[in-house]
Amino acid sequence: MSKAILFVYGSLKRGECNHALIADQRYLGPAMTAAKYRVVDLGQYPGLVKDERNGVSIRGELFKVSECSIAELDDFEGSPEHYKREPIEVVGFEGTVEA
């Protein structure tokens, strides 16, 4: 089964309320996005958006996540209606990272 690298920045981080959803996945460590993003208030949850002009670096964590976990997370988060998982740039990480 293939794995994806996932950047988490909100309730999926270690110690947060929804971390149990990825607690069995491999934690890779803390991470920062390139200064091209913003976290916006979407009411009940935050959203990461690309902002090339006024973006900042966002702190988060990287996990190596199975395809099965990605599917469960997409369902939990309401993808694609409520959010869209897509590649982002993470400082010091070579390869594809999704958020």
37: domain CATH number is: 3.10.490.10
Distance (Å, whole) CA 61 – CA 25: 12
Stretch 64-83: mean pLDDT, rounded?
A: 91
Distance (Å, whole) CA 68 – CA 55: 32
Answer for the pair 24, 30: CB distance below 8 angstroms, yes or no.
Answer: no
How many domains are there within the chain?
1
35: containing domain: 3-98
| Residue 74, both tokens | 């997409």
What confidence tens digit (pLDDT) does each residue in 31-53 have? 999 999 999 998 888 899 999 99
Distance (Å, whole) CA 70 – CA 59: 21
**pTM, rounded to two decimals:** 0.92
* All residues at 6 or more sequence positions from 96 whose CB lies less than 8 Å from its CB, including other chains: 4, 5, 87
Give the residue numbers annotated as catalytic, written as ranges: 77
